[in-house]
Structure 1
Amino acid sequence: MKRRIFLSLLLSFLWLGLTVSAQDKTYNTPSLENKDAWTLVLFPDTQTYVKFKRNQPIVDLMVNWVEEHISTLNIKLVLHVGDLVEHNALVNPDGIVGNQTGTQQWEAISRSFSTLDTKLPVIATTGNHDFGIANIENRQTFYNKYFPIEKNHHNKEMIREVALDEDGMPNLTNALYEFIAPDEKKFLILVLEFAPREANLQWAIEVVNQEKYLDHKVILLVHSYLDSNSDHIETENYPITDGNYGKAIWEKLVKPSKNIQMVFSGHIGAADQKRGHVGFRTDTNAGGKKVHQMTFNAQAMGGGWHGNGGDGWLRLLEFQGNHVSVRTFSPLFAISPSTRHLAWGSDAYAAFTFDLD
């Protein structure tokens, strides 16, 4: 009897060992494809991570993973596609769609990214949930309070232009940053508020067309832009009536430009459907340059709208000169040998390349 139990346990351990070994064979430790390349990390909407207290440590895990791989991946820039929080100013969460107030959510995401404040620039745009009370009932946001320009000294050194709000005061929801890559290529990160108002869209048009910026490669960072069919979003049903969505942004700003070459956005999602969170298309601007437009989100992965917040997914963009390799990676899955075989996105829309002009 004892012999039979021993053999059974031995076989179980051998099976477990073989399973873990097989899983490990499908896992590649994150590394640069080209030793001379550098990496841009793109964060999806983080709203579902911070609206539940139980999910907030996952954002910490994602940020800490970035910090740990700054050297390994030569990470130089972190961008966020908006909807940092689920509720900008909610004071009475019901415990169902969230159990943290707006203040608690802003404090959580600001605290998480503070890990990188002395190490890397972290530039975010604002989404619909970053305004109003719960979902852009108005244009008021606490973004500037929790992400002031002084918070991250890299951002402070890189900022070049800031639009004025309706009170005539500088507002970081519409701003321009200059980034010089390790290979000396010049980039601009143009940040626009959710569904930018006409005045701010006109400001952006004037800014990127200044003579001193025409030799820069511009990255437009805006929240709502492409749908899951990779079509430009024409309109959405929000209380605001003064917004420009994807199609208008393309037609008024991006297409007429000569230097906007990338557009990054988030916003869209479908419960536990990876394909419903992403979009990608390439068009040509007035300068004859290709414009690569990429939407990346994950907020309803990992259990839907009230799940774990998005399974920890990040986008890693490796810049090898003008060649860009895009990979999708989850530090949450990678942390354990039993799940790390799931850590790399393997679908065509999760791992692909494009080339800049």
Structure 2
Amino acid sequence: MKNVLALSIVFWFFVGFIGPLCAQQDYEAPTLKSDDGWTLVLFPDTQSYVKFKRNQPILDLMANWVVENIDPLNIQLVLHVGDLVEHNAILNPDGKIGNQPGKSQWEAVSKSMGAFDDKVPFIATTGNHDYGIKNIENRKTSYNDYFPIDKNFHTQKLLREHALDEEGMPTLTNAAYEFKAPDGRRFLVLVLEFAPREANLNWAKEVVSKNEYQDHTVILLTHSYLNRNNEHIETEGYPISDKNYGKAVWEKLVKPSANIQMVFSGHIGAPDDMDGHVGFRTDLNAAGKKVHQMTFNAQALGGGWYGNGGDGWIRLLEFDGNQVSVSTFSPFFAISPSTRHLAWGDGPFKSFTFELD
């Protein structure tokens, strides 16, 4: 009996003290794999960080961690997959689905992403929750009001193309940004509105086919594209007309192109289920080039739809020549020695690589 008791004491000592201590010692902060590498940071849907005021400090932490690592990781771009807010224009939230009105949500995400304003280009697409009142009841959005082109002068310098909205006014919800990587490779980041209208798909086709972009590597940034089974989304039940979801975007824009090589999206999620937040597939476009299509979100992790907003997860993409190394990392977990052993994603969030043509 005494031996059993002694063994139990040793076991729980290891689990409660030695185990976490070993995990802390095993933790390694993100670093570049190559001296010639540079990093693109991908933010998931941030809507649940700003619909509850209590969660916004986590988003601030995430953004400021990126700023602190601009030099160590050679961060050149920060992209956002849309659904910046939960409610575009709600006036009186009930405290259950959120406790901040739409205006406060936009102010919150604009403030958090404002950490990049004088540091690094920030480019976002718009999701369904960025339109209408609660969830794209119409195509009205406050995005252009809270992310005007002169908000971030680094982003402004990259802007090359933009479409017009339904009222004939310039809009950044459909835009293209030209970026030259440290190794000289030229990129075009093409942004499309949620479930883009036919006219905006045609606009995008014209942009990527322009002579000046034929040698560029195009990244398409859109919101609704892949489901958790790595399939192109065919349809969704939102009350808007003239809409194109993932499958139509693939067939009408991406596949016929000669230079779109990456598609980044968000949108999908399932409560506390990492697998329900991600997707990845590679197909060939009409020119025979590989198109790597990646969906990344985290909004229902950390307690489901009404939890902490997504456990602080971001994606780090290191570019080194044609190779792209993808990892999933949480500055939220990394900030404390007691949780940093959780800071690197595994399972559906595990690291992987892909090759560009």
Q: Give TM class, smaller chain.
A: over 0.9
Matched, 1:314 2:314: yes
- Deviation readout 1:293-319 (Å, 9 max, x if unpaired): 000000000000000000000000000
Distance in 1 separating the partners of 2:261 and 2:343 = 29
Alignment of 1:56-205 (within 5 A): 56-205=56-205
Distance in 2 separating the partners of 1:87 and 1:350 = 31
Distance in 2 separating the partners of 1:350 and 1:200 = 34
Give secondary structure in 1 for the equivalent of 2:151.
Answer: coil
CA deviation after TM superposition for structure 1 residue 165, in Å: 1.1
User: 1:213 is matched by which residue type in structure 2?
Assistant: Y
Aligned residue in 2 for 1:54? 54
Question: Which runs of no fewer than 5 residues in structure 2 stay unpaired?
Answer: 1-10
Alignment of 1:35-54 (within 5 A): 35-54=35-54
Q: Structure 1's 350 and 14: CA in aligned 2 closer, same or farther, altered over 3 A?
A: closer
Does 20-29 or 62-71 show the bigger shift? 20-29
Contact 2:275 2:348 in 1 (8 A): no
Give secondary structure in 1 for the equivalent of 2:282.
Answer: strand
Question: Which runs of no fewer than 5 residues in structure 1 stay unpaired?
Answer: 1-10
Distance in 2 separating the partners of 1:185 and 1:87 = 38
Distance in 1 separating the partners of 2:236 and 2:74 = 38
Distance in 1 separating the partners of 2:22 and 2:125 = 41
CA deviation after TM superposition for structure 1 residue 320, in Å: 0.6
CA deviation after TM superposition for structure 1 residue 120, in Å: 0.3
CA deviation after TM superposition for structure 1 residue 35, in Å: 1.5
User: 1:100 is matched by which residue type in structure 2?
Assistant: Q
Alignment of 1:331-342 (within 5 A): 331-342=331-342
CA deviation after TM superposition for structure 1 residue 12, in Å: 9.1
Contact 2:316 2:328 in 1 (8 A): yes
Distance in 2 separating the partners of 1:19 and 1:246 = 44
Distance in 1 separating the partners of 2:281 and 2:294 = 7
CA deviation after TM superposition for structure 1 residue 23, in Å: 1.1
CA deviation after TM superposition for structure 1 residue 17, in Å: 4.8
CA deviation after TM superposition for structure 1 residue 22, in Å: 1.1
User: 2:102 is matched by which residue type in structure 1?
Assistant: G
Aligned residue in 2 for 1:216? 216
Alignment of 1:242-257 (within 5 A): 242-257=242-257
Aligned residue in 1 for 2:8? none
User: 2:217 is matched by which residue type in structure 1?
Assistant: K
Distance in 1 separating the partners of 2:106 and 2:316 = 25
Matched, 1:25 2:21: no
User: 1:40 is matched by which residue type in structure 2?
Assistant: L
Distance in 1 separating the partners of 2:14 and 2:169 = 66
Contact 2:328 2:349 in 1 (8 A): no
CA deviation after TM superposition for structure 1 residue 36, in Å: 1.2
User: 2:47 is matched by which residue type in structure 1?
Assistant: Q
Matched, 1:294 2:294: yes
Give secondary structure in 2 for the equivalent of 1:150.
Answer: helix
Aligned residue in 2 for 1:231? 231
Distance in 1 separating the partners of 2:118 and 2:351 = 30
CA deviation after TM superposition for structure 1 residue 168, in Å: 1.3
User: 2:295 is matched by which residue type in structure 1?
Assistant: T
Distance in 2 separating the partners of 1:321 and 1:55 = 37
Distance in 2 separating the partners of 1:349 and 1:331 = 15
CA deviation after TM superposition for structure 1 residue 346, in Å: 1.9
CA deviation after TM superposition for structure 1 residue 112, in Å: 0.7
Distance in 1 separating the partners of 2:304 and 2:56 = 16
Off by >4 Å, runs of 4+ in structure 1: 11-17
Aligned residue in 1 for 2:353? 353
User: 2:142 is matched by which residue type in structure 1?
Assistant: F
- The normalised TM-score by structure 2 is 0.95
Q: How many equivalent pairs are there?
A: 349
CA deviation after TM superposition for structure 1 residue 19, in Å: 3.0
Distance in 1 separating the partners of 2:79 and 2:69 = 16
Q: Cα RMSD over matched residues?
A: 1.6
Distance in 2 separating the partners of 1:34 and 1:89 = 45
Give secondary structure in 1 for the equivalent of 2:347.
Answer: coil
Distance in 2 separating the partners of 1:297 and 1:348 = 11
Aligned residue in 2 for 1:275? 275
Distance in 2 separating the partners of 1:126 and 1:345 = 26
Aligned residue in 2 for 1:327? 327
CA deviation after TM superposition for structure 1 residue 14, in Å: 8.5
% same residue: 70
